Structures are given as structure tokens and as C-alpha cells.
Structure 1
Amino acid sequence: MAERKYTSAGTDGWLNVRREPSGIIIALPEYIATEMESSSNGRDHFIVKEGVERGNRFSVKAGYLKTQPPAYRPAASMQFSLSRSILTYATGRARAFTDEGNPIRPGTHPIQLPDFPHHLGAIYLQQSAYAKNWFYLGQGNSVIGKNDRYLHPGGVSNGCITVHPTDWTQLYQYLVLCRSGDEKTVGNVVVVR
């Protein structure tokens, strides 16, 4: 029987793994549930059970998959006020904004698990070690230029919910452990005027 294990990551919240059988290196977010298949030649072979890579096979150097489940929380229920530029969540508040010319629409938006390291966040790494860890707001997968609104840190917004970089670490550490039970999302954000 396959064993359930969880990704552990470095100080940036990402774990580099090898896609099997192609050997391409990608990064998975921390705390992702996996199903361990085997261990050989110092590598653990596993299937990802949640997030955008769900169902795909990978391997990683032995020791980076943990048996102890993370301290998961229930789904996040957040609110972003366009007029007040405040994002509220169960354990705090964050300063946030959107592009006035292309604002995120009012309503409820699902918040997905981080999908890949977003290099546009690198300029904010001094304010948050997790600046490249963005949460896609929507159904399915993000499509650049068409369906690509995220919850992310920064000083520039193209219609996403953009959080002040110094408020990002606390929000990220809360959200990354939330689960909705659908193997894809961490909760919802309601955008209000």
C-alpha cells in the first residue's frame, strides 16, 4: 500500500523535484500531499496528490518527504475591500490593492495552492522570503494574459490582489496550510467595493 507523505522545503517554501520519466526539474510548494511509490538509488519516487501537478510522478533526494502531516487548517475565508485597500483573513489583515484601470471583479474567487515560483516576486525577497509564492485566483490553470489574476506580494498590480511585501510572510504562512478539501484550493476571497 502506498504511503502518504508531504513535501518539505527550504527557506523559500519550494522543493526542487525531478519530473519522471523526463528528468526535468521543477519546484513544488511546501506541505503538498504525496503518495510514496518507492525508494531507490537514494531517491524517493512519488505521485503528487494535490495542486496543479496532481497525478504526476516525480522523484526527490531521499529525506525531503515527511511522514508527519502538516498542521493543516480549514479553508480560508478572506475579504478584500477595494475601497479600503485591506485584505482581512482569520489571523490578520494585510494592506493590498489592485489596478484601478483593470481591477479584480467583485465577487468570490477561489484561491489555489501555489503553482510555481513566480520570478517577478524576486525583487521583494528582502521583505519576504516567500515573495515568489503566489496563489492563483480562479478555476482551472492560469493562462498568461487571459486568466492570470493572482494573490501576490508587490508594489505593482495588473489586476491581481497585490499585498504589501512586508505583510506577505504572515499571510503566506497562514494560507499555505489551509485546505478546502478539493485537492486544489486553500479557500476563497470575496472582493467587495
Structure 2
Amino acid sequence: MTVLSNNRTSSNDQQGSSHQVTVATKYSRRPDDSGWLRIRLEPSGDDAYLCEYTKVTLLREKSGRTYFRVADGNSAHVGKEASMATQNANKYLLDDAPKGPATVKVKYSGSPVLVRSEVRGDENKQQWAIASFDGKTARVTLNSVWGYQYTPIPPGTHRIMAPDQSHANIPTSGYKAAHPGRIRCNDVWFPIEVEGTTGNSSRYIHIGHLSEGCVTFYELLKWNDIYDYLIDRRMKEGKGKYIGTLVVEK
């Protein structure tokens, strides 16, 4: 935890009235299996959401709410002031910082083959690969949609970015329903910055049986493993925007 002292802020509506506060660095946690922590942006009052291990700096506590600034990450809320009920802030804004950077290796496996998904029920030509991370492996598909702009991710050393926003708009709940109580955080996707480009390349590490040039965890019950490995990792550079590297080989 980083503590900054001798900061002063107004404590009430009386002009010139202030009190000393301690400004601390905290890191967000998920309250449930959605993977997203709801916050309230100030002063608009709009709801917003943070992924786990987003850094925040506490500003003040007033009327049962804790106010803070979103200090890093890959969301649109970085630098903005927000608040939570203090009882929730005490539960979900904690001291433990992320670990060092992650490394995920992906190795192509054969030529594309036509496969019927036992969850979706449709047939797609899958470009298989094996992902290796944290001493584990998982079968992934690098592409399922052909003849359009989608292609398997190219060999190279790419960067994995912190989650940007919920991807609940792209249905993956069926994969979760196929294994009741065994899959979580399926709407938390990890963007990929393809080597030689800057920012989100519209490719992600995510769960599913349909890939549009992403690293898609076809082996559904391995999703929790990759989520747990990636979510509390950050690279030093980038102010929390990057998680680590993705090494792709043919």
C-alpha cells in the first residue's frame, strides 16, 4: 500500500474548513462471478465498472461513501473520480497489488479442420493451437470465420492488455450454462496489441467456440485458469494498461 500524508481537503461547506486525510493506493476486486466491480462516476452519478486489480487512489470519505480516483488500467475511466458505499469499498478495494508480467505461449496445431461445437451445435473450421501458461496447457482456436477480414493471429510477440470493458454484448453465457457453477468471469476479455501496432487490435483472449482471429479458449473448463493467471498480472510500463506478452509460434 502507498500512503501519502499531509494532503488536505474540505470537510464541510464552511469556507476554509479542512482536515488532514491519508491518501492510500488500493486495488479493486470483483464482488461476484461477473468479474466487474460497479462504481459511481462523480459528479455525473453514472455507473461504471472496473476489472480486478485496477489501481485507485483514495481521496476522502463523506456521508457513507468513499471517493477515489481511477489511477490506472485500460478502461475509459482512467483519471476520473468515482465513489462507492464505504462498506463496499472496505470489501472490494484492497491493499494487495498485482504481480509481475504474464507470459502466454501459443503454438499452432495442424491445418484448419471442420468441427461441430457440442455447445453451439454448429460446424466451423477451426485453426487449433495449444496455449501454455503458468505450467498449464489448454486447447484454443485462433479462427473460425473464414473468407472475411478474420485471420488467425500471426506469429510474433504481442502484448496482452488489461480488460477494457464487459463483453456481455457478445453472448458467452451458453458456455457458462453448459458447465453450471464451474465457469466465471466469462465476460472479462483480455485485448491483444498485435506486434507492430499500437493499442487494442480487436483481438482478444476470451472463452468460446467461435473465434474471429482471437485466442479463444475452446477448452471451456480451462477458462478459469487463464483468467486467474492473467487478471492479477501487470507490466511495469503502461500504467496498468498491459498484463504481459503473448508469444505465438507456427
Q: Does 1:107 align with 2:156?
A: yes
C-alpha displacement at 1:158, in angstroms? Answer: 0.6
Deviations, residues 74-98 of structure 1 (Å, cap 9, x unaligned) = 2111111122611101231121111
After superposition, where does 1:25-174 map in structure 2 within 5 Å?
25-52=47-74, 53-62=77-86, 63-64=88-89, 65-70=92-97, 72-83=98-109, 85-99=129-143, 101=146, 102-119=151-168, 120=170, 121-126=172-177, 127=179, 128-138=183-193, 141-142=199-200, 147-164=201-218, 165-174=220-229
TM-score (norm 1): 0.89
What is the CA–CA distance in structure 2 between the aligned matches of 1:125 and 1:170, rounded to whole Å?
A: 14
* Equivalence for 1:191: 248
Superposition misfits of 4+ residues, deviation over 3 angstroms:
139-142
Q: Which moved more, 1:116-125 or 1:86-95?
A: 116-125
Contact 2:159 2:242 survives alignment (8 Å): yes
Contact 2:29 2:94 survives alignment (8 Å): no
Amino acid at match of 2:153: I
What is the CA–CA distance in structure 2 between the aligned matches of 1:159 and 1:67, rounded to whole Å?
A: 36
C-alpha displacement at 1:73, in angstroms? Answer: 2.3
C-alpha displacement at 1:3, in angstroms? Answer: 0.9
Contact 2:52 2:232 survives alignment (8 Å): no
Q: Tell me the C-alpha RMSD between the 2 structures.
A: 1.8
What is the CA–CA distance in structure 2 between the aligned matches of 1:140 and 1:130, rounded to whole Å?
A: 26
Which consecutive unaligned segments of at least 5 residues does structure 1 have?
A: none
Contact 1:7 1:30 survives alignment (8 Å): yes
Amino acid at match of 1:82: Y
Amino acid at match of 1:68: D
Give the counterpart of 1:181 among 215, 233, 236: 236
Q: Secondary structure at the match of 2:78?
A: coil
Which consecutive unaligned segments of at least 5 residues does structure 2 have?
A: 5-22, 110-127
Amino acid at match of 1:124: Y
TM-score (norm 2): 0.70
Contact 1:91 1:174 survives alignment (8 Å): no
Rg: which structure is higher?
Answer: 2
Number of equivalences: 188
Deviations, residues 6-43 of structure 1 (Å, cap 9, x unaligned) = 21222222101112222211211112111011111221
Give the % identical residues.
30
Q: Which moved more, 1:85-94 or 1:128-137?
A: 85-94
